[in-house]
Amino acid sequence: MAALDLHIDKISKRYGATDVLRDVSLRIAAGEFVTLLGPSGCGKSTLLRIIAGLERADRGHVRAGGRGLDAVAPKDRDLAFVFQSYALYPHLSVYENIAAPLVMRELTSLERLPVIGARMPGAVQRNRSIDDRVRQTSALLKLDALLHRRPAALSGGQRQRVALGRAMVRKPKIFLMDEPLANLDAALRIHTRSEIARLHKEMATTTLFVTHDQAEAAALSDRVAIMFGGEIRQVASPADLYRDPIDLDVARFLAQPFLNELSVPAPIRGGLTIGSSRLIIRDALGSAEPGTLAFRPEHASLVGASEPGALPVRVARIEHAGTDAYVYADADAGVEFVVRIAAERAQSLRGGETLGLDIDPERAWFFPSNGSRQRRDHSRAA
């Protein structure tokens, strides 16, 4: 199945007085899996609906494989849309649900009639080809054993697989998926997520996936476009977004499970003054305005209280998380930091103990209060 690239060019959309999308541009390569990630209400679904042709943009263009789609009817766009709600036909079997888009497209209303339709010239051949495609698709989705069942007799994950099957059977050039895992419980979400990853690997269909779940975005995507307030803030691979966020919003949104933040006065030659300590942070070199020092729990360590350059902290509590532990440590002036350490090491710590917090000067970020962070590599793209 040949995949198509998808280009979204300067899309804007307003509802009443609200700018829902502002000049949104995004280029998705043929076969790429890109996720729109952002908080509720940031405009993800609206953008997907505009690409599908279900909503009209006020400005901007959508192109797929070089063809402008703005004037193309939704049904002729060669896109398949998978929604959060499965919207299966309750009175049809799994087989009939998956076959439905092909039956509607490839058979006339007479040919669709039971008994008569099946005997009409031409329809026999087309019915056979529909049957082949339904069986291929259900084999790919491991639904073969469930083809005779009605949706009511399926689990949530199975229903979502049928919804995927119904979208896949038409062999679309592009998949649009709007939170397709949102209605599943935690275990099924992870299972169905790996099914989607496997299918994408096998079929390499260009996919634009919407979620507000950072773990889902990271697990599935080649690249993630992170949105806030109707704008795409940064587009990068999940690893680059986590490692090199463009601003504090992005760093916070990808906090797993916590981001340490501290407001600090303007750095002097990369040096930040925190209480009676002075820390040199590479990211702060070249900045001369106040801002926020931020770092992830894994980018600091606990050392002896008298270690030079370490901030004095007191162990408040320890949370165990499998092989790791999160240590909540209080610094002066009511600031709390979280540090990730190995679970074995946590066993030797005691609540109330005074230690030093050693922040990794290469990995901590400095976000100036006005203006962007000076990033070391430039993964921002549109």
Ligand X SMILES: Nc1ncnc2c1ncn2[C@@H]1O[C@H](COP(=O)(O)OP(=O)(O)OP(=O)(O)O)[C@@H](O)[C@H]1O
- Tell whether residue 57 is a contact of ligand X (CB under 6 A): no
The bridge status of strand 33-37 relative to strand 206-211 is parallel
Q: Between 41 and 271, name the residue whose CB sits nearer to ligand X.
A: 41
Q: How far is the CB of 249 from ligand X (least distance, A)?
A: 14
**Gap between the Cα atoms of 299 and 362, Å rounded:** 9
**Gap between the Cα atoms of 315 and 331, Å rounded:** 9
- Tell whether residue 137 is a contact of ligand X (CB under 6 A): no
Closest CA to 366 of 250, 275, 287, 301: 287
DSSP per position, 265-312: PPPBTTEEEETTEEEE-GGGTT--S-EEEEE-GGGEEEE-TT-TTPEE
Q: Between 111 and 179, name the residue whose CB sits nearer to ligand X.
A: 179
Cβ neighbours for 213, distance < 8 A, ≥ 6 positions apart: 37, 181
- Tell whether residue 214 is a contact of ligand X (CB under 6 A): no
Interaction with ligand X in 145-174: which residues (CB under 6 A)?
Answer: none
Q: How far is the CB of 75 from ligand X (least distance, A)?
A: 21
Q: How far is the CB of 23 from ligand X (least distance, A)?
A: 15
**Gap between the Cα atoms of 316 and 330, Å rounded:** 6
Q: Between 41 and 257, name the residue whose CB sits nearer to ligand X.
A: 41
- Tell whether residue 180 is a contact of ligand X (CB under 6 A): no
Q: Between 85 and 369, name the residue whose CB sits nearer to ligand X.
A: 85
Question: Measured between alpha carbons, how far is residue 322 from residues 188, 221, 297, 317 in Å?
Answer: 21, 26, 15, 16
Q: Between 20 and 357, name the residue whose CB sits nearer to ligand X.
A: 20
Among 44, 189, 223, 373, binds ligand X (CB under 6 A): 44
Interface segment toward ligand X; rule CB under 6 A; list 43-51, 144-152, 196-204, 273-281: 43-51
Among 45, 158, 160, 192, binds ligand X (CB under 6 A): 45
Q: Between 94 and 184, name the residue whose CB sits nearer to ligand X.
A: 184
- In the numeric block, the tokens 């390569």 are attached to 29
Among 3, 26, 33, 46, binds ligand X (CB under 6 A): 46
Map residue 12 onto helix, strand or coil. strand
Q: How far is the CB of 234 from ligand X (least distance, A)?
A: 16
Q: Between 227 and 359, name the residue whose CB sits nearer to ligand X.
A: 227
- Tell whether residue 20 is a contact of ligand X (CB under 6 A): yes
Map residue 161 onto helix, strand or coil. helix
Helix-strand-coil percent breakdown of the chain, rounded to 5? Answer: 30, 30, 40
- Tell whether residue 54 is a contact of ligand X (CB under 6 A): no
- Tell whether residue 212 is a contact of ligand X (CB under 6 A): yes
Cβ neighbours for 36, distance < 8 A, ≥ 6 positions apart: 44, 47, 48, 208, 209, 210, 211, 225, 227
Query: Based on C-alpha coordinates, what's the Rg of the chain?
Result: 26
Q: Between 182 and 303, name the residue whose CB sits nearer to ligand X.
A: 182
Interaction with ligand X in 291-320: which residues (CB under 6 A)?
Answer: none
- Tell whether residue 41 is a contact of ligand X (CB under 6 A): yes
Interface segment toward ligand X; rule CB under 6 A; list 2-10, 38-46, 98-106, 145-153: 38-46
CA angle (197, 198, 203) in 5-degree steps = 100
Q: Between 20 and 274, name the residue whose CB sits nearer to ligand X.
A: 20
Interaction with ligand X in 80-109: which residues (CB under 6 A)?
Answer: none
Residues, the chain, total? 382
Among 42, 57, 80, 274, binds ligand X (CB under 6 A): 42
Would you tell me which residues interact with ligand X (CB under 6 A)?
15, 20, 38, 40-46, 212
